[in-house]
Amino acid sequence: MKKKLFFSALTISAAMLMSACDKDDPVSPEPVPPPTSSTVVPLSSSAANNGVVQSPYGILPSVASLDAALNLYGSWKALYYKTYQQEAALYPELAKDWTLIFGNYVAAGMIPARIVWDTQNDAYCVIDESDDSYKKRGCTVSEAIGYGMLITLFAGDLAAFNSLWYYNRGYREYQNSNLMPWKVGTYSYESLVTPANSSSATDADLDIATALVLAYYATGDIAYLNDALLVINDIWNNEISPTGMIYAGNMPVWKKDNSAYNLSYFSPIAIKLFALVDKNHDWTNVLNTMYTYMINVQSAGTGVIPDWTDISGTAIDPKNGSATNTYWQFYHEAVRIPWRIAWDYYWTQDPRAQQVLSTLNNFISTKSSGSAAKLETTGKVMYSAVAGKADGSTNSFMPNWHGAWCLTGMAGNQAWLNECTASFNTKTMSGFSYFPHILMTMYSQLLNGMYMKPALLPL
């Protein structure tokens, strides 16, 4: 087993634990320790802004309910958020390997936590000690850490946020990289049956860095910003094309002339935040390039956006096994686009965001005869973004799809937004389904007013 220990076994401090792996990078100072209170208090911009001018917010549904979002957050956290200590108690044999990456964190009182991912076919993710429904849930994906950091931050749960951050940092330091591997084991890596995939996933990296920048503006603690800048720099160097396109990952397969691009990875708020804090790179060009690309793809098709496209905007099989039969549909990947674009419009009222959302809303409103109540039927269809290509379908109206279609109304269709959100807020979590549930939780936070800008954020 390859052992990479980046900390002295004799002199351990929190500051050492958060130091950068690359000697040329700035050293992150000691992070904010987890707060002693577990009270959940969402971010608020109601405090004095100290002279910082912010743009106004966009519209919310008149039925927005903080309680609905907080209740959903509680359900999600209970199901999917697991700390090192919780799982070490359940799987003591497996946990013997966990100290390789996280032993120094635990010794310093910086307890990591992960978001459980579900899989049925990957031997790497099997927990041999488990004899219950978690047996095949021994993996976490970087996407989940990015989502989890945003979810916990907007819920005001800084203790949970920090624990997910420690998990992220542990794997990055172990790999000597500022980009987290896209899939990892519980709290281990190469000690399992087969090694994890070390490639990055750009959407995860964007969300992780975004959460850290927002945490900096919310708390004033420079440790969050310093770490964010390490991630942002590596995103620029490894996941942004020379023309400003966002690659799907850092591996060569995503950087070929015929590579596939995933528009659900485009996060306008992330790029706008990076432009605020990183003056060494032209993030404005990335923003403009990606918005132009997205609008062109949308305008050339049916009004919805395909899961994967090539550089010309044509729907394309990504050749990664994720969407061979659905890549031209507004489906598993593209369901995240309304959230990312609605977030931008809610915070900045970017007219490009309004255009994308309005086109999506006009599409689904027409399909539903103007009534969100009919989504129960029309929302089961995974619509083709390419004229002449087949639609898809699902057996049930998934809650993440429900929330996504609600979010399309945030650019100005108040009636749709109200009716759709009222129905969405009655949804609860049933069973264990990582992807629908984590998206459902994020969408609920945005729809119900929990996406508050930190008071000092000049955006």
Name 204's bridge partners.
none
Inside any domain, residue 226 = yes
Report the first-to-last Cα separation within the chain, whole angstroms: 47
Inside any domain, residue 294 = no
Inside any domain, residue 58 = yes
331: pLDDT confidence band, cut at 50, 70 and 90? very high
Whether the model pTM is above 0.75: yes
Residue 128, number of CB atoms within 10 A of its CB: 12
Inside any domain, residue 258 = no
Inside any domain, residue 261 = no
Examine the pLDDT at 78 and tell me if it is beyond 80. yes
Residue 221, number of CB atoms within 10 A of its CB: 14
Inside any domain, residue 19 = no
Examine the pLDDT at 314 and tell me if it is beyond 50. yes
198: pLDDT confidence band, cut at 50, 70 and 90? confident
Beta carbons of 404 and 363 less than 8 angstroms apart: no
Give the pLDDT confidence score for residue 25 in this predicted structure. Answer: 32
Give the pLDDT confidence score for residue 86 in this predicted structure. Answer: 96
Beta carbons of 288 and 300 less than 8 angstroms apart: no
320: pLDDT confidence band, cut at 50, 70 and 90? confident
In sequence order, the 6+-apart residues with CB closer than 8 A to the CB of 124 are 138, 139, 183, 185, 192, 193, 194, 196
Inside any domain, residue 282 = no
Q: What is the mean predicted confidence (pLDDT) over 147-172? A: 97
Domain containing residue 374: 53-236+341-447
Q: What is the mean predicted confidence (pLDDT) over 50-78? A: 88
Q: What is the mean predicted confidence (pLDDT) over 273-292? A: 98
Average pLDDT taken over every residue of the chain: 88
Give the pLDDT confidence score for residue 413 in this predicted structure. Answer: 96
Give the pLDDT confidence score for residue 196 in this predicted structure. Answer: 57
Examine the pLDDT at 329 and tell me if it is beyond 70. yes
Taking only the tens place, the pLDDT of each residue in 217-259 is 999 999 999 999 999 999 999 999 999 999 999 999 999 988 9
Q: Which of the two residues, 89 and 120, has the higher pLDDT score? A: 89
Count up the domains in the chain and report the number.
Answer: 1
Give the pLDDT confidence score for residue 124 in this predicted structure. Answer: 82
- Three-state SS for the chain is CCCCCCCCCCCCCHHHHCCCCCCCCCCCCCCCCCCCCCCCCCCCCCCCCCCCCCCCCCCCCCCCCHHHHHHHHHHHHHHHEEEHHHHHHHCCCHHHHCHHHHHHHHHCCCCCEEECECCCCCHHHCCCCCCCCCCCCCEEEHHHHHHHHHHHHHCCCHHHHHHHHHHHHHHHHHHCCCCCCCEEECCCCCCCCCCCCCCCCHHHHHHHHHHHHHHHHHHCCHHHHHHHHHHHHHHHHHHECCCCCECCCCCHHHHCCCCCECHHHCCHHHHHHHHHHCCCCCHHHHHHHHHHHHHHHHHHCCCCCCCCECCCCCECCCCCCCCCCCCCECCCCHHHHHHHHHHHHHHHCCHHHHHHHHHHHHHHHHHCCCCHHHHHHHCCEECECCCCCCCEECCCCCHHHHHHHHHHHHHCCHHHHHHHHHHHCCCCCCCCCHHHHHHHHHHHHHHCCCCCCCCCCCC
306 burial level (CB within 10 Å; 0-12, 13-18, 19+): buried
Give the pLDDT confidence score for residue 175 in this predicted structure. Answer: 87
Examine the pLDDT at 5 and tell me if it is beyond 60. no
Give the pLDDT confidence score for residue 122 in this predicted structure. Answer: 82
Q: Give dist(CA 367, CA 122) in Å, integer.
A: 38
What secondary structure letter does DSSP report for 135?
A: T
Q: What is the mean predicted confidence (pLDDT) over 188-211? A: 80
Inside any domain, residue 454 = no
Q: What is the mean predicted confidence (pLDDT) over 291-307? A: 98
392-393/81-83 β-pairing:
unpaired
7: pLDDT confidence band, cut at 50, 70 and 90? very low
In sequence order, the 6+-apart residues with CB closer than 8 A to the CB of 10 are none
Give the pLDDT confidence score for residue 54 in this predicted structure. Answer: 66
Task: Work out the percent of the chain whose per-residue pLDDT is above 70.
Answer: 86
Examine the pLDDT at 33 and tell me if it is beyond 80. no
Poorest-confidence range of 1-15, 288-302, 316-330? 1-15
Q: Give dist(CA 454, CA 459) in Å, integer.
A: 10
Poorest-confidence range of 123-127, 138-142, 143-147, 455-459? 123-127
101: nearest Cα among 189, 163, 162? 189
Q: Give dist(CA 116, CA 339) in Å, integer.
A: 22
Alpha helices in 301-385 (DSSP H): 337-348, 351-367, 375-378
Give the pLDDT confidence score for residue 44 in this predicted structure. Answer: 53
Examine the pLDDT at 23 and tell me if it is beyond 60. no
Examine the pLDDT at 20 and tell me if it is beyond 80. no
423: pLDDT confidence band, cut at 50, 70 and 90? very high
The CATH code of the domain that includes 389 is 1.50.10.10
418: pLDDT confidence band, cut at 50, 70 and 90? very high
